[in-house]
Amino acid sequence: MTVKLKSRVASALSGACALLLCPAPPAHAQTPTVDVTIATDVSGPAIDRNIFGQFAEHLGAGIYGGIWVGKDSPIANVRGIRSDVVTALRALKVPNVRWPGGCYADEYHWRDGIGPADKRRVRVNSNWGGVPESNAFGTEEFMDFINQIGADAYVSVNVGSGSPEEAAAWMEYMTASADTTLARERAANGHPAPYRVALLGLGNENWGCGGAMSADHYVEEMKRFAHYAHNFNPAQHDQGAMKRIAVGWDSGKSDYTEAVMKAWSDKVYSWDIDGVSLHNYTVGGWPPHLAATGFGIDQYDDVIGETLNMDNLITRQSAVMDKYDPARKVFLAVDEWGAWLAPTPGSNPGFLAQQNSLRDAILAAVNLNIFVRHADRVKVANIAQMINVLQAMILTDGPRMVLTPTYHVYRMYVPFQGATVVPVAFDRGQIVHGKLTLPRIDAIAARDQAGHLWLSLVNIDPEQGTSVHLGQARAASGEVLTAARVDTVNTFTEQSAVAPHAISAKAGPHGLVLDLPPHSVAVVQVEM
C-alpha cells in the first residue's frame, strides 16, 4: 500500500520564531506546502545500528571530566566513570564508541594505559592542547565504560607511530581466550574474560596527523596491520566477527580510497578489510571560525548548505568503491563528522570546546537522514564527539551536566536503529536567501522490527512552518524538537531551552494534519 502525505495550506505561521531571526511575515503570507509519499508496501535496506555511533577521543574534557572523574571523586561514579553521563547515554542505546582517537590514536601506546594507575606513564598530548595525559583512562576503563552504557568497542590501532607487533599484542591482550602471557596479564589487571572488539580502525587520517603518508605507502602499512592484528577470541566469530576499517577519504580527496579499494580487489588470502572511512566536518572554511551562538539566518543557511554536501561526498566515495566492489561487500564508515565551530571564548583552543544549538540538532538530523538514504553502503558513522568536544551529546562542568540539542535528536531517532528503510518521496521545496537555495523539508521513513512505521520530518526553513496532511493514516504522534530561535542552546542553568515536546496529527478536511514549526525536527509513529 502507498500512503500519501499531502500538505495542507495554512494561513498562519508558527509562533515559534523570535523577531531577531524570524521577522514577522506579511499578513497575506501562507505556510509553504510539501507533498510526501511513503511506499509502505516496499522495503529497502536495513539501517545498521552502527550509523548512530559515538566518538570519544583523548581531547580536552572529552574523557577527563566528561567520562572519567576517578574513583575518589565526589561526583557520583562507578569505578571512576561518572554515573549521570552513563545514565544519559544508555537512553541513546549507543551502538559503538570509537576510541582512543582520532589523531590521538596514532600516538597512543596501549601499555601506557594498563596496570596500577600510579605506575602509568604520564606524557604530553601533543595533538590536543599540549597538556599532560595521565593515561588514567586506558583499556580497562574504556571497556568498563562501554559495558556500562551497553555499547560495542570500536578501537583504533596506532599505525602512525606504532608497529604491527604493538597492535597485535594489544589485540591479544584484549581478546585472547587461551592461556597466554598477555591474557594472564589482562586477568591480573582485573578482567579474566576476553573483551569483545566489534570494530577495528587501521589507523586514522594517515594522510595527515597519522603520519603524512602517501596513499600507496599507507596501503602497504595497512596490509601489514590487517594481517597481524588478529582477534584472538574464537567465540566472537560466532557472535559477529570483528570488522576492520581502513582509512579513506577526507572531505572529498579520493586517492586513499582509490588505493585501498584497488589493493582490496587484488588482495591475497593473508589480509582483508571490511570497511573504508570517510571524514567530513561542517566547518565553513579553515580554520574553524563560525560562531556557535548569536548567529543569524545567513550563517544558519551557510552551515546547513555545507552539511548537505555530505550526500554528494558519499555518492562520490561509493562510485570509487563500486569500481572495485560492485557487490558492495566493503562498507563505508563515516566515522568522523559533525559541526566544527569556533572554540568557546576563553577556552583552550586545542580542546575544541563549543556550544551546541538547535541549528546543530537540525544539522545532525539532516546527516542521519543522508546516512539512512545510503544504508546499502553506509554501515558505520561516528559523530564527533560524545562529550564536551565539538558537536557533543553532553556538556559537563564539574558536577553539572546538560544534554545538548544534538543529544535529543539521537534519542528521538532510536526507533530507526536496526529498522528497515521504507521509501519516501517528497517535494523538498526551496528556501532562497540571496544566492543560496536550500531544501525546505527533509524526510525518511522506516519500519522497526516490531512492525511500527516511523517518519522523520526536518523543517529546515528557519522562518516558516509547514502543515503536512497525513492522507489515510489513522493516527500519528511522537515528538518535535524546536525552540524560539535557531541559535537557542541549553545551559547548566537553563537545561530545557531546547527540548522535545509531544506532537500529534489533528483531524483536517482531507485527513490528519501534522503542523511542523519552523526550524524543527519531528519523529512520529504513523498508524494505518
pLDDT of residue 508: 77
Are residues 485 and 451 located together in one domain of the fold? yes
Are residues 40 and 183 located together in one domain of the fold? no
Kindly name the residue from 133, 140, 172, 205 that is annotated as catalytic: 205
Are residues 130 and 275 located together in one domain of the fold? yes
Rounded Cα–Cα distance for residues 217 and 526 (Å): 51
Exposed/middle/buried for residue 74 (C-beta within 10 Å: 0-12, 13-18, 19+):
exposed
pLDDT one-digit tens code per residue, 394-445: 999 999 999 999 999 999 999 999 999 999 988 888 889 888 899 999 999 9
pLDDT of residue 3: 44
pLDDT at residue 35 tops 60: yes
pLDDT at residue 74 tops 90: yes
Residue 388 lies in a domain: no
- Per the DSSP assignment, residues forming a β-bridge with 78 are 81
Residue 358 lies in a domain: no
Are residues 82 and 206 located together in one domain of the fold? yes
Rounded Cα–Cα distance for residues 16 and 28 (Å): 18
CATH code of the domain covering residue 36: 2.60.40.1180
Kindly name the residue from 141, 166, 306, 336 that is annotated as catalytic: 336
Are residues 137 and 24 located together in one domain of the fold? no
How many CB atoms within 10 Å of residue 412?
22
Residue 230 lies in a domain: yes
Task: Say which residue, 372 or 507, is predicted with more confidence.
Answer: 372
Are residues 11 and 110 located together in one domain of the fold? no
pLDDT of residue 17: 37
Structure confidence at residue 7 as a pLDDT band (50, 70, 90): very low
pLDDT of residue 382: 98
pLDDT at residue 10 tops 50: no
Are residues 40 and 70 located together in one domain of the fold? no
Are residues 60 and 38 located together in one domain of the fold? no
pLDDT of residue 16: 34
Does 166 participate in catalysis according to the annotation? no
C-alpha 49, offset from chain centre: 11
pLDDT of residue 513: 82
pLDDT of residue 396: 98
Query: What are the DSSP calls for 170-220, one per residue?
Result: HHHHHH--SS-HHHHHHHHTT--SPPPEEEEEE-S-TTTTTT---HHHHHH
User: In the predicted model, what is the mean pLDDT of residues 500-509?
Assistant: 90
Out of 221-235, 243-257, 280-294, pick the least confident: 243-257
Task: Say which residue, 134 or 36, is predicted with more confidence.
Answer: 134
pTM: 0.93
pLDDT one-digit tens code per residue, 198-210: 999 999 999 999 9
Residue 360 lies in a domain: no
Does 494 participate in catalysis according to the annotation? no
Secondary structure of residue 147 in the 3-state scheme: helix
pLDDT at residue 85 tops 60: yes
Supply the Cα-derived Rg of the chain in whole angstroms. 23
Structure confidence at residue 131 as a pLDDT band (50, 70, 90): very high
pLDDT one-digit tens code per residue, 364-373: 999 999 999 9
Are residues 87 and 182 located together in one domain of the fold? yes
pLDDT of residue 385: 96
How many CB atoms within 10 Å of residue 41?
10
Domain range holding 27?
2-45+421-527
In the chain, the number of structural domains is 2
Kindly report the average pLDDT of the chain as a whole number.
91
Residue 343 lies in a domain: no
Rounded Cα–Cα distance for residues 393 and 282 (Å): 17
Task: Say which residue, 242 or 15, is predicted with more confidence.
Answer: 242
Are residues 67 and 198 located together in one domain of the fold? yes
Structure confidence at residue 81 as a pLDDT band (50, 70, 90): very high
Residue 186 lies in a domain: yes
CATH code of the domain covering residue 95: 3.20.20.80
Are residues 35 and 103 located together in one domain of the fold? no
Residue 401 lies in a domain: no
Are residues 27 and 142 located together in one domain of the fold? no
pLDDT one-digit tens code per residue, 375-391: 999 999 999 999 999 99
Rounded Cα–Cα distance for residues 305 and 442 (Å): 13
User: In the predicted model, what is the mean pLDDT of residues 1-20?
Assistant: 35
Residue 486 lies in a domain: yes
Q: Using alpha carbons, select from 23, 12, 7 the residue that is nearest to residue 463.
A: 23
pLDDT at residue 25 tops 60: no
